[in-house]
Chains A and B, each alone.
Chain A
Amino acid sequence: MIDLRIAAVGDIHLGEDVRGQYRRKLEGIEDRADVFMLAGDLTRHGTLEEGRVVADELRGLSIPVVAVLGNHDYHSDLQYEIAAELRDAGVIVLDDDGVVIQCGDKKLGVVGGKGFGGGYAGKCASEFGEREIKNFVSHTRYIAEAWKVALKEIVADHRVVLSHYSPIKETLEGEPPEIYPFLGSYLLAEAVDTAGADLILHGHAHKGSEKGMTPGGIRVRNVALPVLGRAYSVYCLNCEDEFHSHDSQRQAG
């Protein structure tokens, strides 16, 4: 049995005043994990200067680094420029698409993007009424559909979804329920449950809880740094042969 080890964190919120500090905490990550994933909110205000700090902190790590952006990274309308800085530093930035990473003899598929809000089944916004509300909900619906398609297309031994917003309520526990609709949407979970995946990682909810699962039984981890209380956590996917065949069948279905 060989584990596929995923180091993950979100909401690192870096800025010039903490330059170099986070990088120091990444020492030895290549011995602990096969891939490093960042679940958005890498900056505080979404400025290009902050984006460059993040890029410098992540540059030259000897394991693949996959990231999505978060709402803070969109604040200055420079999300594409920040993503370009990160890509120049060797980071794979997902924007409602997917990538396959070779980890040893295993292929790891990662699908994701920022995600968006709307709320959870039974207590959520719907595409009805004012144009502004319809735009809000249809944005999440568009993202969920893109993830579903990307997951179905990817051919890999394991599939992980990387998001900023949460697909489930469970990992929001600790946040005020009144703001749940701004923290995520069940549409994201529904899409991933339909297409299948081994794990969903998200951030955004600083006061939430680490562990939960989708209605379909896919494990969800809120890796927001304030939730973890550490530089990152490591999740190991079991690569037993039995698990493989199950996964392949599900993908084929």
Chain B
Amino acid sequence: MEAPQYVVARVQQALAEDGRTHELGIRVDIRGDQLFLRGQVSGAEQRERLGQVAHETAPELHVHNEIKVVDAGAPGEDEHLD
């Protein structure tokens, strides 16, 4: 059985290099046969694509897609640099 560290590296590489995702900042953890994705993306579709690529890369694992979709809010208070 492949060591989980190598599977994590392979999934992270796929998320970064797969043409559907190209996402660099996603944390991947494996515990037993469970794979966890964590991080932030700008849209729900990107989150789904990341889950799909992770699943295809490690089909033997159950993927928990815990990635958060961040909706950029209205600008807040101005900062004065004096």
Q: Which of A123-131, A164-172, A229-237 contacts B (4 or more CB under 8 A)?
A: A229-237
Known contacts: A17-B43, A206-B40. The answer to whether A229 contacts B78 by CB under 8 A is no
Instruction: Give how many B residues have a beta carbon under 8 Å from the other chain's beta carbons.
Output: 19
Decide yes or no whether B25 CB sits under 8 A from chain A.
yes
Interface residue range, chain A: 35 or more
- Determine whether the beta carbon of A225 is less than 8 Å from that of B79: no
Q: Is the CB of A230 within 8 A of B81?
A: no
Say whether A231 contacts B80, CB under 8 Å: no
Question: Which chain B residue has the least Cβ–Cβ distance from A221?
Answer: B79
B:38-82 near A, CB below 8 Å: 40, 42-43, 45-46, 70, 72-76, 78-82
Between A and B, how many residue pairs show CB distances below 8 Å?
Answer: 68
Interface of B is mostly: loop
Q: Which residues of A contact B43 (CB under 8 A)?
A: 15, 17-18
| Set of chain A residues within 8 Å of B74, measured between Cβ atoms | 25, 230-231
Given contacts A236-B79, A236-B81, A237-B81, contact A17 B73 (CB under 8 A): no
* Contacts A45-B22, A229-B70; A32 near B75 (Cβ below 8 A): yes
Binary contact track B2-45/A, C-beta < 8 Å → 1, others 0: 00000000000000000100100100000000000000101101
A126 to chain B, nearest CB (A): 25
Give B contacts to A, CB under 8 Å: 19, 22, 25, 40, 42-43, 45-46, 70, 72-76, 78-82
A-B contact pairs, 16 of them (CB 8 A): A7-B75, A22-B72, A25-B74, A45-B22, A72-B22, A198-B81, A219-B81, A226-B25, A226-B40, A226-B70, A228-B72, A231-B74, A235-B79, A237-B81, A240-B82, A243-B82
